[in-house]
Amino acid sequence: MREDGPGYCLHEPLRQHIRRGAALEHWIAAFGADHPARMVGHDAVHMDFHPGNILATDGSITGIIDWDGAARGDRRFDLVTLRFGIHSKDAEARVTQHLDAVLDSLPEDILRPAWAHMSLRMVDWAIRHFTPADVEHWLDLAEQRVS
């Protein structure tokens, strides 16, 4: 959250975007300045945990694929990643509501850094690769937990 990532999680596109993008980047930068540079924890974290990387048969998860970006940290980061992942899909309202309730139960020191990271990641990517409507879509989600 303090520096640009390797080709993603770039701050400048948000700064140069409409007022909403710049405000989000300001919150992310301020938040990042007050928190550790690395995720705390020793769990295996997928880092790209979304429905496209989940294998399922008959409603049961049978595997998780695409571990090339995995890292150590707090496993609950993947729940935030999943929340962003279902935002782009036509997820059932009950699934979204359930996942939001799980996120509401997370400690702030886990939820807020993960939310800031994913907000930067998804809004930056949308600005650089998708339509203005897509950017608004991701800003709407990002702003739900910005305070």
Q: What is the tens place of the pLDDT at every residue in 29-38?
A: 988 888 877 8
What pLDDT does 15 receive?
Answer: 93
Given a cut of 90, is residue 124 above it in pLDDT? yes
What are the residues whose beta carbons fall under 8 Å from the beta carbon of 39, sequence distance 6 or more? 45, 71, 72, 73, 74, 77, 113, 114
CA distance 26 to 14: 9
What pLDDT does 37 receive?
Answer: 78
What pLDDT does 2 receive?
Answer: 82
For the question of whether the overall pTM of this predicted structure is more than 0.95, the answer is no
Q: How far apart are the first and last CA of the chain?
A: 16
Please give the mean pLDDT across all residues of the chain.
Answer: 93
Q: What is the tens place of the pLDDT at every residue in 98-123?
A: 999 999 999 999 999 999 999 999 99
Given a cut of 80, is residue 89 above it in pLDDT? no
